[in-house]
Amino acid sequence: MEDLNKDACPHHHGNEPKENPRRNFLKQTSLLTAVALTPGVAVKAAENHLDEAVAAVFEKMPLHVEINGVNQSLSIEPRVTLLDLLREQLHLTGTKKGCDYGQCGACTVHVDGHRVNSCLTLAMTVDGKKVTTIEGLANGDELHPMQEAFIKHDGFQCGYCTPGQIMSAVACIREGHANSEAEIREYMSGNICRCGAYPNIVNAIQEVKAGGQQV
């Protein structure tokens, strides 16, 4: 959480990893086979059957996922996290990378309606699921009630943790865990704000809960 300068990007730049299963495989395979299996062909093969012999050959795998109501047919490396897919490939930068190790909650998104840490979710594992990020919460120009409440109660200072806080706050009400200040604090504890906007966030959640709107 503390070390934001650490290069936590899963893509290795510069030095090649010592062990590289894909390249080892290619070395062991005849050149002809490797050339014949162009990515397009290989992806198509894998679409039909996620067979391990095929999956082993290439770097990228097919991923079908609905993100904020839009169906996406993507091609990704298995080690890409949902967080990095959202930010780097789809340019949905509302979801923030805080600690990148599941400790701060800045990357919270909803998968099939349940809040999770997108930094610890391998993107391949959301195949066939529905993902909602902070960008998918508003209805066009009309902000979600929780977004309105955060603005009204000044539930953020620098704003970095805010998208994750709002995604958790919505889930907190949906899960039925916003019935008291203590319960809200407990169920918001996976979202850490280093500036200390907590009391205002609790106020915002209490107001939305009391409003009785469908969130």
Partner 1 sequence: MKQFQYVRPTTQQSVLDAIAKPGAKVLAGGSNLVDLMKHGVMSPDKLIDIQKLPLRGISKSLGNTSSISIGALELNSAVAEHALIKQELPLLSQALNAGASAQLRNMATVGGNMMQRTRCPYFYDIAMPCNKRNPGSGCGALEGFNRMHAIFGASDKCIAVHPSDMCIALVALDATVEVASRKGKRYIKFADFHRLPGNTPELDNNLAHDELITRVIVPTNNFAKNSYYLKVRDRASYAFALVSVAAALDIDNGTIRSARLAMGGVAHKPWRLHEAEKALVGKPANKASFEQAAQIAMQGAKAYKDNAFKLKLAPATITEALTHAAGLA
* Positions in the binding site for partner 1 (CB under 8 A): 8, 10, 17, 19-22, 50, 52, 55-56, 59, 61, 77-79, 81, 100-102, 105, 108, 114-117, 120-122, 124-125, 127, 168, 171-172, 175, 177, 185-187, 189-191
198-211 helix and 162-174 helix, angle to the nearest 10 degrees: 40
Q: Minimal distance in Å, beta carbon 141 to partner 1?
A: 29
Nearby residues of 10 by Cβ (< 8 Å), 6 or more positions away:
79, 80, 81, 84
Q: Minimal distance in Å, beta carbon 185 to partner 1?
A: 8
Of 12 and 152, the one with the shorter C-beta distance to partner 1 is 12
Of 151 and 195, the one with the shorter C-beta distance to partner 1 is 195
The tokens for 119 are 């930094």
- The sheet carrying 130-132 orders its strands as 70-76, 61-67, 130-132, 108-111, 114-117
Sign of CA dihedral 184, 187, 190, 191: negative
Of 154 and 183, the one with the shorter C-beta distance to partner 1 is 183
Of 20 and 180, the one with the shorter C-beta distance to partner 1 is 20
DSSP-assigned beta bridge partners for residue 129? none
Nearby residues of 135 by Cβ (< 8 Å), 6 or more positions away:
68, 92, 94
Q: Minimal distance in Å, beta carbon 140 to partner 1?
A: 27
Q: Minimal distance in Å, beta carbon 197 to partner 1?
A: 17
